[in-house]
Structure 1
Amino acid sequence: MEEININTIIFETLDRISDIRTARVSMFPLDDFYGHPPFLRFGFSLVDETELICILQKIINEFEGNIEWRIRKKTESKNCILIPTIFEEIQSEGQFYKKDFWIKQFGEDIYKRYVDFALEDIPKLAEHIKKGFPDIFFQS
């Protein structure tokens, strides 16, 4: 699968489930896969997305990939974030987009390994999400 497809496949999958109101579709920078941890910030164009987010959280919690993934919704934001748990658990204090911060936290080899694991998971996670919505993705 081409990198651009890996970069946007989760957005495209979620947008098929319900229209997404956020403009960002990329999960990582194409010019430097290790530029920051892969993630997707999104929100659905629904009056109340609570039920859909709960369903997605359950589906993502059941995903068995290289690493664990989470959806989080912060009370101060209308958006959710889909992120590898390892990066969500560390308080980045405004340093999230700085590769050097993550290298300092983990060491370069381990940081790159976590990112590689996440990039390998992304298409599999998209397929796992699709299986959770068979009426949308697997109609005959």
Structure 2
Amino acid sequence: MDFEEVNRILFFTLNDIYPIATGRAGMLASNNPYVSFPFLRFRFKDKGKDDPIYGQIRETVKSFKGLLTWEMITFDDVPNYLILPTYVYSDGRPTSGDLNEHLIAKHGESLYRQMIDQAIVDIPNLAKAIKDKFPEQ
């Protein structure tokens, strides 16, 4: 699977379950995957934040066994959900500053890049785990 397929597979997997309302399909920057931590921001069309489908996906993401641990989160002040590696918000939601710079300072450049490489390996397997949870789609 090439990089662009890996970058978009989670978006397409979720969109196959139910149409997605948000437009960003990739989890990483196409030109340089190390520019930002991997994440998918999404919400389903015509589904409120309390729809049970989000809880089912969240449990699948949480129970996924990959190189990294993953989670699906949301914040009260936004309509979308995020699927991302747990390390991204392990210190909570920052109030200011660049989150990528914070993560690089916390983990070091080398480990930060290694975690992105691990995410690139995990993403297709995470998408498969979600697809397997919703086989009828």
User: Does the alignment reach a TM-score above 0.5?
Assistant: yes
1:95 paired residue number: 98
TM-score, with structure 2 as normaliser: 0.91
Structure 2 stretches of 5 or more lacking a match?
Answer: none
Partner Cα separation in structure 2 for residue 103 and residue 30 of structure 1: 20
Cα distance, 1:105 vs. partner?
1.5
Provide the secondary structure at the position in 1 that maps to 2:82: strand
Q: Which AA in structure 1 matches 2:52?
A: E
State the Cα RMSD in Å: 1.3
Could you tell me how far 1:108 is from its partner in structure 2?
A: 1.1
Counterpart code for 2:71 = R
* 1:34 pairs with 2:34: yes
- What does residue 125 of structure 1 align with? 126
Equivalent in the alignment of 2:112: 111
Q: Report the counterpart of residue 44 of structure 1 in structure 2.
A: 44
Match of 2:21 in 1: 21
**Corresponding residue for 1:134?**
135
Q: Which amino acid aligns with 2:104?
A: I
Q: How many residue pairs are counted as aligned between the two chains? A: 134
Distance 1:59 1:72 in 2: 13
Partner SS, residue 26 of structure 1: coil
| TM-superposition CA deviations, 1:83-140 (whole Å, max 9, x none) | 10001223443413x4x4432121111111111111110000001111101111xxxx
Provide the C-alpha distance between the structure 2 equivalents of 1:47 and 1:114, rounded to a whole number of angstroms: 32
5+ residue gaps, structure 1, are none
Deviation per CA, 1:20-43: give whole Å up to 9, x if none.
Answer: 000111100111111010000001
Letter in 2 for 1:28: L
